[in-house]
Amino acid sequence: MIRIFKSEWRKLRRPTLFLGTMVAVVGLTGLISSLLFLLLDSPRGNGREGMMITRETLAMPNGLYVGFANSAGLLGVIALCVFAAQTAIEYTNGTLRNLLVREPRRLLLLAGKYLAMVSFALVTVCFSAIISITISISLAGSKGVSTDQWFTSSAISLFGSTFGNVFLSVIAYGTVGMTLGLLLRSPISSISIAVAWILVIENILSATVSGISKWLPGQLMSAIPVQFGVDFSYSRALVGTSAYLLIFTVAAATLFKRRDVVN
């Protein structure tokens, strides 16, 4: 398992992938966290889908992490792309056959690759948290947001739960990406179909069909760490995401174990 983990990280730490991903994480997190404060007085809102997040809300113990929590959806899309590309590229380049010669136990190989990508996702979440918190602290004073409750024991406890929820959301997206990579065996197809569904089709369905958002995987996964702008509960998001994760995990394991390794 350790050898597989290290082998996968040799690919993940390539500058083009690692630095490129971190730049995207920093840029998207910085944009979301900045707009949360810069658009405080905007009549169009400053949160998800035009939601108005007030100064009073931001002054609460969890206010320091609102920007970080709202970044979960886009962090998840990044993880989905990485997981899908790193999985499908093995078929495209024909390297999966060579890996199975060294490690014929397919599920063990899949588990090692998955854990490596999960640890990579953890790094992106840590980067996002640092950037979001830094921006929130730097902008709070100029926008008149009180920070008295941000550094209490309650706020520190809330950070742990927020970080865990964001990480869970990101891993859920990544698992979907890995399943699509195994199913379609093409990085471009896997990423384009997933992004089109999550960012375009689901948003259209949520805006036009009442009550459907609580059944859509992308909406459920992105809602886990978010307290504002969703029309279903945290428990609903958690249970729905867990159900989808179980389905995708079983599908991925079955496909990888039984299908031919040739693209």
Query: What pTM was estimated for this model as a whole?
Result: 0.90
pLDDT for 27 beyond 90: yes
What does the pLDDT look like over 125-166, one tens digit per residue? 999 999 999 999 999 888 888 888 998 888 888 899 999 999
Q: What angle do CA 195, 218, 116 make, to 5 degrees?
A: 75
117 by DSSP, 3-state: which?
A: helix
The answer to whether residue 263 scores a pLDDT higher than 60 is no
Token pair 């890995």: residue: 178
Q: Which amino acid is at 53?
A: I
Per-residue confidence at 93, pLDDT binned at 50, 70, 90? Answer: confident
For residues 183 and 262, which has the higher predicted lDDT (pLDDT)? 183
Per domain, the residue ranges of the chain are 2-258
Rounded to an integer, the average pLDDT of 237-261 is 85
Q: Is the distance from CB of 61 to CB of 146 less than 8 angstroms?
A: no
The pLDDT of residue 101 is above 60: yes
- Reported as a single tens digit per residue, the pLDDT across 220-233 is 898 888 765 566 78
Tokens for 25, please give them: 């994480």
